[in-house]
Amino acid sequence: MKYLLTTLLSLFLLVSVVHAEETVLVTIKLVKTANAPADLPSTIHFPASCSDCKMIDDPTYARQNAREVILAMRIPRSTFIDLQVDTEGKAFERVLLETTDLSFERTSSGIHFTVPSQIADRPNSGEFQTHLYWQGVELRFEHGDPSRRAGTYATGEFPAVQREAANNLEFGLLEAIRELGLDHYVDDQNLGRLFLMGFDTNYPHGHLDSPPHFHLALWLGNYRGTGSLIPHLYLTPEGLISHSLVGPYAGAGDLSNLDYKANQKFTAVDMLGRPVFSLILTPEGGLNFARYDGLQCSLRPLEQGFQSGIQVSCPPFPKKVIKVEDDLKTGEIKESVDGKISSVFHYDSANGALLQP
Verify that 98 and 245 share a domain, yes or no.
no
Where does the pLDDT of residue 13 fall: very low under 50, low under 70, confident under 90, or very high at 90 and above? very low
Domain boundary among 68, 90, 124: 124
Tell me if 277 is assigned to some domain: yes
Domain boundary among 97, 124, 151: 124
Q: What is the pLDDT of residue 15?
A: 45
CA 60 – CA 203 distance, rounded (Å): 7
Residue 5 or residue 349, greater confidence? 349
Q: In the predicted model, what is the mean pLDDT of the chain?
A: 92
- The mean pLDDT value for 53-57 works out to 96
- The mean pLDDT value for 170-182 works out to 98
Verify that 54 and 77 share a domain, yes or no.
yes
Verify that 118 and 145 share a domain, yes or no.
no
Neighbours of 325 (CB within 10 A): 14
Verify that 239 and 149 share a domain, yes or no.
yes
Question: Which domain covers residue 71, as residue numbers?
Answer: 22-124
The region of weakest confidence among 20-24, 44-48, 165-169, 302-306 is 20-24
Verify that 144 and 114 share a domain, yes or no.
no
Is a pLDDT exceeding 50 seen at residue 209?
A: yes
Longest CA–CA separation in the chain, Å: 83
Q: What is the pLDDT of residue 32?
A: 97
Verify that 274 and 313 share a domain, yes or no.
yes
Q: What is the pLDDT of residue 157?
A: 95
Verify that 137 and 88 share a domain, yes or no.
no
Verify that 314 and 341 share a domain, yes or no.
yes
**According to DSSP H, which parts of the chain are helical?**
2-20, 160-180, 182-188
Overall number of domains in the chain: 2
- The mean pLDDT value for 334-351 works out to 97
Q: What is the pLDDT of residue 243?
A: 98
Question: Are 205 and 124 a contacting pair, CB within 8 Å?
Answer: yes
Tell me if 322 is assigned to some domain: yes
**% of residues, the chain, pLDDT over 90:** 85
Tell me if 194 is assigned to some domain: yes
Tell me if 7 is assigned to some domain: no
The region of weakest confidence among 5-9, 36-40, 142-146, 150-154 is 5-9
Q: What is the dihedral of CA 328, 329, 333, 338, to 10 degrees?
A: -100
Q: What is the pLDDT of residue 279?
A: 98
| CA–CA distances in Å: residue 352 to residues 68, 137, 310, 341 | 14, 19, 24, 21
Verify that 194 and 298 share a domain, yes or no.
yes
Tell me if 47 is assigned to some domain: yes
Where does the pLDDT of residue 207 fall: very low under 50, low under 70, confident under 90, or very high at 90 and above? confident
Q: What is the pLDDT of residue 255?
A: 55
- The mean pLDDT value for 221-247 works out to 93
Rounded to 5°, angle at Cα 287 from 282 and 293: 105
Q: What is the pLDDT of residue 1?
A: 53
Where does the pLDDT of residue 222 fall: very low under 50, low under 70, confident under 90, or very high at 90 and above? confident
- Reference 102, options 111, 121, 110, 72; nearest CA is 111
Tell me if 5 is assigned to some domain: no
Tell me if 207 is assigned to some domain: yes
Is a pLDDT exceeding 50 seen at residue 20?
A: no
Is a pLDDT exceeding 50 seen at residue 52?
A: yes
CA 170 – CA 178 distance, rounded (Å): 13
Q: What is the pLDDT of residue 337?
A: 98
Verify that 120 and 136 share a domain, yes or no.
no
Q: What is the pLDDT of residue 206?
A: 80
Is a pLDDT exceeding 50 seen at residue 19?
A: no
Is a pLDDT exceeding 90 seen at residue 287?
A: yes
**% of residues, the chain, pLDDT over 70:** 92
Verify that 63 and 194 share a domain, yes or no.
no
Verify that 82 and 223 share a domain, yes or no.
no
